[in-house]
Structure 1
Amino acid sequence: MSKQKTNKLKILNDPIYGFISIPNSLIFDIIEHPYFQRLRRVTQMGMSNLVYPGANHTRFHHAIGCMHLMQKAVQVLRTKNVEISEEEANALYIAILLHDIGHGAFSHALEHSIVEGIAHEEISLKFMQKLNEVFDGKLSLAIEIFEGKYKRKFFNQLISSQLDIDRLDYLKRDSFFTGVAEGNISSDRIITMMHVKDDELVIEQKGIYSVEKFVIARRLMYWQVYLHKTCLSAEALLVKILQRAKELAKNKVELPASSTLHYFLYNPITHNNFTDETLDIFSRLDDYDVLAAIKEWVNHKDVVLSKLASMITFRNLLKIEIQDKPFTKREEHEIEKKLKNDLKIKDENLHYFMFLGKVSNQAYNMNKPIKILTKKGKLKDIAKASDQLNLQTLSTPVVKYYICYPKKFLLN
């Protein structure tokens, strides 16, 4: 009996957009590849589900959603006589599909603890180059667009700019799964208003209010969701757990972990030694490895690792205070003294339980302006074209300072 061929022109049902079609067999095969399937096991929003219980969606959801929106964008631009060949369109779909493939477990936490000196964008590029070998060079144009090296500048703007396809999906998707209505932008309307002028991605004047809402939504989502103080506390705690595990591994202390996580704990991984073998092991590392290890570390003999792991497992997070100006040395020393006296935390372990940081949010960057195409065919920065909002005010970065320290527990 002959082997039945797989139908590669599948349709997926997405909670945000409804039915999403996979445009061709090459993209189907890329999605089926283990590198891409790993994204099913990497959450889009890290530890945010400790604040917003519905925020369990994955990088896989986001990537598929981005591919769908890119199909719409290509369709819209073609109706406005912007020539995009089939080869170019396909490259755009692949570039946006793979733009986040280099994110590690729990996204940014891994970049600040286990893998150092190499950003997820670089790892994404390494994955794309490896997939290009697997698929006989069919990803070359997508890589060129992703790196911003393709002759048509607006292609890269669709992938990475202040109003790119990535942001149009994640704001709408994260708003849906968190239930935070302020982030619910009209991505359809914005895409419908897209045009190209002088090789730049622009928005027609009719879409100005949708863009204004997008900028405001992004600002609100950052303060209300991405930089929510409890989310910050949880993410910081996760980083500290991984840093402690890495320190213990360096001192040859045995830690229960999957073989994949074990490799990253016991080998110093930097930009310089991130080999093909490292990439292959990284492609098997996901949230499950980290969560399973943390559950085991709750009972580890190292009291620091055990306490940190317990805090995140049972959601007994660090207290966090946020303010508009840096904490003074006096404020810092007062908390230090209290922790040492009341909670008996040793000096050498203090930095795991008490630490300072800062976060900033810039709703609009005037150095990379969103251009509005006026009815007279002129291009205007939205900050100047907007008659309702003072977007120039929103272009000033807002910086907030935080300090984390434990609630009540004893270190024996």
Structure 2
Amino acid sequence: MTNKFKIINDPVHGFIKIPHEILFDVIEHPYFQRLRRISQTGLLNLIFPGATHTRFHHALGAMHLMFTALETLRLKGTEISKEEEKSAMLAILLHDIGHGPFSHALENMLMEDWHHEKLSLLLMNDLNKELDGELTMAIEMFQGKYHRKFFNQLISSQLDVDRLDYLKRDSFYTGVSEGNVNTQRIISMMNVADDKLVIDAKGIYSIENFLTARMFMYWQVYYHKTSALAEHLLVKILDRARTLVSEGKELKASDNLKYFLEKNKFVRATKEDIQRFTELDDNDIIQAMKFWTKSDDFILSYLCKCVIQRNFPKTMISSKPFEKDFVEDKIAKTNAFFNIENGAELVDEISRTLLPYNTEKQPIHLLPKNGEKFRLEDSENQILSAFINQPNTKYILSFPREI
């Protein structure tokens, strides 16, 4: 008999317990094991060398924080059954199982209009059949259909255990200390009122620190100009490859990647679609890019060399869109230097927008001792919340270094 109550040593949270056998079974499943080969932060390790962690690490960390959060809520008088505990942990464990290669970078590129959450749900339903309905409640919580709404907020909201883990984990692996939030303090301040997840009012500054830490991590790490460019290059490479394949060009790639490059429509995912998707990971994309550096197509070859040789295009960043004449001048110089006519393929304006705190979408509520909860931004004690509820956009222009 296998002992399924394992303890996992995690560099971020310490020892992680597996308190339910079904969690072990899911972790051992090939669908979940694939997450070991899916980068948590795309190509971020080309900018921050330590960022080599995976979706596997993150899913386990989020599961651990879910267990800690549920224990905290129990201590404060919220009744949570063992079945609910197990289901909430399963839901967060599987929340990212639908991620494709390099996580967000290639979202919708392999299967159009198939957001990773849609694919996660598809795979969860598939697993549920295999496990005789054990995931039914977890799927309800994941979709927000379970009658106790705070479970869904712990899984997906502006203050969920998913964000708590990835901020602390990404901060740890990138070495960017601004994202190192105090997860234990924030979780210890969690409570439930009117079936909604709230924060004890005395924890207001921990929450503001969390929101600002997330903002700094986005601008300093995820939306760093080179990070944004690397992600954009991946998308362009797959888009270019798909265009060439549609024109009848032969491109060397793994069977599974070739399948997705050749197939155009995924109205309803077939059994083969699912099987091939769950066999696809970062290695397929890296192998293909290595092949394509020698492609006869200049654009595809150039873009792949940028990534594989880490010879990125030059970038400029601005708080407003670049002048049209300035961009067209870069395109003209690119055409002249490489003696090509499609230089526009190598000159790109990328934009990134961040709304640090959305006061409309599931706002964070504080709970004072009198029990009358109120919104974070309405607190007389808030320092920053009223100033981080506006979107901010930055523009990045990339063009070949040769010009």
Look up the match of 1:9: 5
Q: Does 1:380 align with 2:388?
A: no
Question: Equivalents in 2 of 1:342, 1:24: separation in Å?
Answer: 62
Question: Is residue 69 of structure 2 the alignment partner of residue 73 of structure 1?
Answer: yes
CA contact (8 A) 1:205 1:372 kept: yes
CA distances 1:101-156 after superposition (whole Å, capped 9, x unpaired):
11100112222433211111100000000000000011000000100111111111
| Residues 376 and 382, structure 2, Cα contact 8 Å, conserved in 1 | no
C-alpha distance in 2 between matches for 1:352 and 1:85: 56
Q: Specify the alignment match of 1:357 in structure 2.
A: 350
Shift of 1:376: 1.8
List aligned pairs for 1:343-354, cutoff 5 A: 343-347=338-342, 350-354=343-347
SS of equivalent to 2:9? strand
- Contact conserved, 2:96 with 2:116, CA < 8 A, in 1? yes
- Corresponding position: 1:35 with 2:31: yes
Q: Which residue of 2 aligns with 1:285?
A: 280
Write the letter of the residue equivalent to 2:378.
K
Q: How does 1:167-206 map to 2 (within 5 A)?
A: 167-206=163-202
1:386 offset after TM fit, Å? 5.5
**Structure 2 counterpart of 1:162:** 158
Answer yes or no: is the 8 Å Cα contact 1:114–1:243 preserved in 2.
no
Once the two structures are overlaid, the 10-residue window that deviates more, 397-406 or 194-203, is: 397-406
- Name the amino acid aligned to 1:322: I
Report the AA paired with residue 398 of structure 1: N
Indicate how the Cα distance of structure 1 residues 52 and 386 shifts in structure 2: closer, same or farther if over 3 A, else same.
farther
Kindly state the Cα deviation for residue 390 of structure 1 after the two structures are TM-superposed: 3.1
Which residue number corresponds to residue 312 of structure 2?
Answer: 317
Identity %: 50
Letter in 2 for 1:361: L
Once the two structures are superposed, the pairs formed by residues 293-312 of structure 1 within 5 Å of their partners are 293-312=288-307
Corresponding pairs, count: 402
1-structure distance, mates of 2:153, 2:293: 45
Displacement after TM superposition at 1:357 (Å)? 2.5
Alignment of 1:106-145 (within 5 A): 106-145=102-141
TM-score (norm. length: structure 2): 0.97
2:215 aligned with 1:216: no
Partner SS state of residue 369, structure 2: coil
Question: In structure 2, the residue corresponding to 1:340 is in which secondary structure?
Answer: helix
Q: Indicate if the aligned counterparts of 2:108 and 2:115 stay in contact, CA closer than 8 A.
A: no
Aligned residues of 1:45 and 1:55 also touching (Cα < 8 A): yes
The structure 2 residue matched to 1:369, chosen from 363, 377, 381, is 363
Q: CA deviation at 1:356?
A: 1.7
Structure 1 counterpart of 2:238, from 242, 253, 261? 242
Shift of 1:389: 1.7
1:326-367, Cα deviation, whole Å (9 max, x unpaired): 1222222221222122332313xx343112231101111111
Length-normalised TM-score, structure 1? 0.95
SS of the equivalent of 1:115 reads: coil
3-state SS of 2:199 partner: strand
CA contact 1:114–1:269 (8 Å) conserved in 2 = no
Q: Secondary structure at the match of 1:400?
A: strand
Q: Secondary structure at the match of 2:197?
A: strand
The letter for the 2-side match of 1:377 is: G
Distance 1:72 1:30 in 2: 20
Give 1:171 shift.
0.3
Q: 1:389-410 deviations in whole A, cap 9, x for unaligned?
A: 231220000011222211117x
Output the CA distance in 2 between the equivalents of 1:297 and 1:112.
Answer: 21
CA offsets 1:254-309 (integer angstroms, 9 cap, x no match): 11111111111111143x14222201110010001100111111112222211111
Offset at residue 20 of structure 1 (A): 0.5
Structure 1 unpaired stretches of 5+:
none
Q: Is the 8 A contact 1:11 1:21 kept in 2?
A: yes
Do the aligned partners of 1:102 and 1:127 also contact (CA within 8 Å) in 2? yes
CA RMSD for the aligned pairs?
Answer: 1.2
Structure 2: which 5+ runs fail to align? none
Amino acid at match of 1:371: H
Amino acid at match of 1:265: L
CA distance in 2, matches of 1:279, 1:17: 33
Retained in 2: the 8 A contact 1:66–1:165? yes
Note the 1:67-106 alignment, pairs <5 A: 67-106=63-102
Provide runs of 4+ in structure 1 moved above 6 Å: none
1:231-266 residue CA offsets vs partner (Å, 9 max, x unmatched) = 011111111111111111112211111111111111
Distance between the aligned counterparts of 1:352 and 1:179, measured in 2?
34
User: What does the per-residue CA deviation read over 1:64-122, in whole Å, with 9 as the maximum and x for residues that have no partner?
Assistant: 00000000011111111101111111110000000111110011222243321111110
Task: Specify which of 219, 222, 225 is matched with residue 221 of structure 2.
Answer: 225
